Amino acid sequence: MTTPSLSIAPRDKAEILAQALPYIRKFHGKTMVIKYGGNAMTDPELQADFAEDVVLLKLVGINPVVVHGGGPQIENALKRLGKEGKFVQGMRVTDSETMEVVEWVLAGEVQQDIVGLINQAGGKAVGLTGRDGGLIRAQKLKLKDNKDPSVEHDVGQVGDILSIDPSVVKALQDDAFIPVVSPIGFGENNESYNINADVVASKLATVLQAEKLMLLTNIPGVLDKQGQLLTELTSRQIDDLIEDGTISGGMLPKLAGAIDAAKSGVNAVHIVDGRVPHAMLLEILTDTAYGTMIRSY
């Protein structure tokens, strides 16, 4: 039973639906790639909200494709095995034993949890890794040192995407399924590679010619020096913010993928606060900004 304080008056409901209608019409039949991570992925209530949002998008004729991360879950699994995770310049060093853990955590535990949540919410989700249908071909990432580019770090089975064949994703979309993709690629000798989920989401959005790329994070979006949310940015403005130090640290690789996707034909990239219930849906289907939207121009 809904408590009175949380109930929405019929007039307000009608207003919300009326505001959403032009967006539903505009995005009908379009693809949206969603990078799912952060609190939205670990908080049970936010998990349920996310699953409902994805199903609703599908029901109104939008084609969501989910790409998920799983850093905290991998870290927990390694700790249970008595293995400590090592990082070089933010990249997880992935030896063969760690790669086995990455595969069973991402393609097993995490992916199947997401598939189950979406199916429970009334959708038809199917889990994929980069191996399925030859989706993600990769090679070993050559990680150059930040300070001395002549030095190369060996981070093991961390992958750099060579190509994406989206035919299996398109086939599932055409059959009314919701693809859920684990960021694992395969190499020319059938070896597995652990790939950054933001990079996979950005490349997949480009290849699918997605209308939008949504990156769910644990921050409100891109903030200015005063801590205020910047609701809309162009790639040129982002370059200026990086140059003056406003944007730094972990936001840099996320924005690199976002800018790349925007410049490669994805109409808009949204960095959305995954801690806000239904933030993704509110960002897509209302006039209110719940994050930062990035355009190429």
Model pLDDT for residues 11-33, shown as the tens digit of each residue: 766 777 788 899 999 999 999 99
- Tell me which of 74-83, 149-158, 162-171, 279-288 is least confident: 279-288
Residues of the domain holding 266: 211-297
Looking at the fold, whether 191 and 266 belong to one and the same domain comes out as no
Q: Which of 205, 227, 257 is the last residue of a domain?
A: 205
Q: Evaluate whether residue 5 is within a structural domain.
A: no
Looking at the fold, whether 117 and 250 belong to one and the same domain comes out as no
Looking at the fold, whether 291 and 150 belong to one and the same domain comes out as no
What's the mean pLDDT when you consider all of the chain?
A: 88
Q: What is the mean pLDDT of residues 85-92?
A: 81
Q: What single letter denotes the amino acid at residue 237?
A: Q
pLDDT digits (tens, 9 = 90+) for 112-141: 999 999 999 999 999 999 999 999 999 999
Establish whether 71 is an annotated binding residue: yes
pLDDT surpassing 90 at residue 43: no
Q: Evaluate whether residue 271 is within a structural domain.
A: yes
Residues 6+ positions from 276 with CB-CB distance below 8 Å = 282, 290
Q: Which of 152, 171, 205 is the last residue of a domain?
A: 205
**pLDDT recorded at residue 13:** 66
Number of domains into which the chain is organized? 2
Q: What is the mean pLDDT of residues 43-47?
A: 89
Q: Could you tell me the sign of the dihedral formed by the alpha carbons of 238, 244, 246, 252, in that order?
A: positive
Looking at the fold, whether 199 and 216 belong to one and the same domain comes out as no
Q: What is the mean pLDDT of residues 79-93?
A: 85
pLDDT surpassing 50 at residue 235: yes
Establish whether 85 is an annotated binding residue: no
Which has the closest alpha carbon to 231: 272, 178, 171, 197? Answer: 272
The two tokens of residue 15 are 């207003």
Establish whether 194 is an annotated binding residue: yes
Looking at the fold, whether 155 and 171 belong to one and the same domain comes out as yes
